[in-house]
Amino acid sequence: MKKIIEKIEEIVPKYSWIYLIAAVTINGISYFGLRLLITPSKYYDLSTPLDHKLPLLPVFIIPYFLAFAQWVVGYIIIARESKAVCSRIMTGEIIAKIFCFFFFLFLPTTISYRPDKVLGDDILSWMTSWLFRIDAPTNLFPSIHCLESYVVVRGALSCKKVGKPYIIIMAIFSVFVFASTVLLKQHFIVDFFGAVAVAEAGMFLARFVPFVKKAQEV
């Protein structure tokens, strides 16, 4: 067991564990927990005419699912950079998730025009239909998918141990992730603007958290 912990610590520094665990926990509570505990009496539709005109493109299931790998890589890079960067970025991400919790609670949204399944027998259509079956179109604003991809880019910009190619790749991939959320009818366009807004608010407020301020002084 000790060797396993040591191996993990070689990849992810021990000082970052509390932040990463807290981020995953709050994500589960805000996104999945509310679904289990509360059924809103009313859902809101934040769609625009453009949302309805955008096509459903199953090919975007690829960046949508690969986003999970992007987050893992992105957060490991942030964790390994330094305690100062890790504490600031991850605390900002956690604060942003808390904002999401209250939006999901008091402004529940849903997509009424998303199809139940996707026509077609190719693998991408099958994967998209599977996504529709396992992920109800609720807890949309702000988009957690977009929030995570935006935060790893913000984190990359603060990391000096990585080069510009990494930052550019992360940024370009995040654009595809943002696009995938609306081209798979998982989110409204306004959802990714909301994601950026809460992320920036979280990053701003994180600067005033005592333990984050202390980490910057080391």
Residue 100 phi/psi, 5-degree rounding, is -60, -40
Report residue 17 CA to chain centroid gap. 18
For the chain, give the number of residues: 218
Alpha-carbon span 19 to 94, nearest angstrom: 8
pLDDT digits (tens, 9 = 90+) for 52-81: 999 999 999 999 999 999 999 999 999 999
Q: How far apart are the first and last CA of the chain?
A: 31
pLDDT for position 35? 74
3-state SS assignment for residue 138:
strand
Q: Residue 100: is its pLDDT beyond 70?
A: yes
Mean pLDDT of 77-93: 95
3-state SS assignment for residue 44:
strand
pLDDT for position 29? 85
pLDDT digits (tens, 9 = 90+) for 15-38: 999 999 999 999 888 887 777 777
Residue 18 near residue 88, CB atoms below 8 Å: no
**Hey, what are 64's tokens?**
């949508």
**Hey, what are 200's tokens?**
């920036």
More confident residue, 218 or 53: 53
Residue 217: band (very low, low, confident or very high) from pLDDT cuts 50, 70, 90: low
Using alpha carbons, select from 158, 143, 156 the residue that is nearest to residue 196.
Answer: 143
pLDDT for position 41? 82
Q: Residue 5: is its pLDDT beyond 80?
A: no
Q: Residue 218: is its pLDDT beyond 70?
A: no
Q: Residue 115: is its pLDDT beyond 70?
A: yes
pTM of the model as a whole: 0.93
